[in-house]
Amino acid sequence: MGRHRFARTVGVLLTGALALAGAEAVSLSSAQAQGERVGTRVDKTQEPLKRTDEVRRVVFVGNNWDGSADLVDPESFERLGRLNVIPDYDARMQEIATNPERLAYFLAIRELIGEGNDQFVDDMYSSNDGKLVVISRPSFADVIAISLDTKKIVWRFQVAGVRSDHMAVSPDGRRVVVSASTGNVVHVLRIADGKQVGRFASGGSPHESTFIDGGKRILHASIGTVYSPLDEPAIPDPLEGERVLQIVNATTFKIERRYNLRKALDARGMDDVSISVRPMTLSPDEKKFYFQLSFFHGFVELDRKSGKITRVKRLPNLVPNTPRPQYLLDSAHHGIAMNPRGTRICVAGTMSDYATLVDARTWHRTKLLKGGLKPYWVTPSWDGKYCYISWAGSDKISRISYRTARIQNSLFVGDHPQRIRNGFIQRSYVDGLGTAVASKPARTSGPTAWETPGA
């Protein structure tokens, strides 16, 4: 607990410094703005999956503090291989060490957001042809594409500011959007070569994005400075940074609508609830948005057309005596996913160490599933049968049946798994995956207050 109290104290001093990093976004070099090509050339067309005889499905698991990604068989739920996502570790660290300003931000991210650890993989998506995996690396403030054949970096894009974060891929697999946490913008990159094809403005600390309307629009949210202690009911909202929930045109990148969440929450008598939108999911017809909020144990349903919160689901708070400053990056809950049928919603109760499923019609929940520590992400399996969940504090993942609401299988992975994504890989690459060790030195920091690896 001491580390978290210290981090919050340091956060008061460094929040402004990290926010200022966004000002650097306007001076990106041409190489940064267009994407830095490395190694061999790749196809510029990323067509949706057509040849199932050449490409197979796989599940990607990002081990954030380890600097690796596990590839898992969605049928057997066994590991197929492990990918080193920081093969350029020495080069990146040399750049950081020789730039005092960059080093200061790097160390601040380690302490304030990484709980004393560097963040090497926040999010990842494969190309639809199964040849590349695109990865955002927060501590290196970049996005890279790695060849699943050669394991080498194909292209690299440096984001605005000093930290990259969540991503989303377009339905046709041609583009990926990535949030630049301190740059207050979202970049839109071409997956084939990493070239920036657009960008749009966000609020403070851009976070979650998802393509909607068949890829014509992007639903996006920012969360504010979750590494500071300023998100309190008694403190005015602006001090936490501008927090937005907005719809963006995916062609022009213009903001088409911003929702007034303060007004919507107040109308439901939730004037003491934060407006910072955490993970979100949508109904199959995309008329309803379901999302979690900082410090809130549960989630809300928002009507897309009216902008009103139509239902609120409160879930058990098993840590009622935990002070707000000791919440893990303000996340009471961090992980929500409705199944494709729109019947059940899978929820990660992060601070309370549980998962549960909520019936979308009756609003009743199933029993609490205690499969590990600090669940930090959920996503449906490609066929909609399971909810994948990462237990970041236990270094493992599980799959939960949407039908039975039971944990079917669990698998130990690398250090601090977070994002889980469905993807593809060329069948001919599978045998050569191997179990690579990340290029960084072995971890020397002790377990955080939330960790019990192997639990």
Q: What ranges in 21-144 are assigned the alpha helix state H?
A: 30-34, 89-97, 100-112
Residue 389 domain flag: yes
Residue 344 domain flag: yes
Is the alpha carbon torsion for 362, 368, 372, 375 positive or negative? Answer: positive
Residue 351 domain flag: yes
What are the mean pLDDT values of the chain's consecutive 10-residue runs (455 residues total)?
A: 39 45 40 40 39 88 97 98 97 96 91 87 97 98 98 98 96 97 96 98 94 98 75 61 93 98 96 94 98 97 98 98 88 97 98 98 98 97 98 97 98 97 98 86 71 73
Q: How far apart are CA 207 and CA 334, in angstroms?
A: 12
**Helix 100-112 crosses helix 2-20 at what angle (to 10 degrees)?**
140
Q: How far apart are CA 190 and CA 198, in angstroms?
A: 9
Relative to beta strand 164-169, strand 55-63 is unpaired
At 109 the pLDDT is 86
Q: What share of the chain is helix, strand, coil (3-state, %, to 5)?
A: 20, 35, 45
At 229 the pLDDT is 65
Residue 333 domain flag: yes
The candidate with the shortest Cα–Cα distance to 64, out of 371, 331, 451, 372, is 451
Beta-sheet strands, E only, within 30-152: 36-37, 55-63, 68-72, 79-84, 123-126, 132-137, 142-147
HSE value, Cβ hemisphere, 13 Å, CA-based, for 256: 14
Contacts with 89 (C-beta within 8 Å, 6 or more apart), sequence order: 67, 438, 439, 440
At 108 the pLDDT is 87
Residue 42 domain flag: no
The CATH number given to whatever domain includes residue 215 is 2.130.10.10
Q: What's the domain range around 342?
A: 54-430
At 434 the pLDDT is 87
pTM over 0.85: yes
Q: What is the CA radius of gyration of the chain?
A: 20
Residue 177 domain flag: yes
Relative to beta strand 407-412, strand 417-426 is unpaired
For the chain, how many structural domains are there in total?
A: 1
Residue 12 domain flag: no
Residue 446 domain flag: no
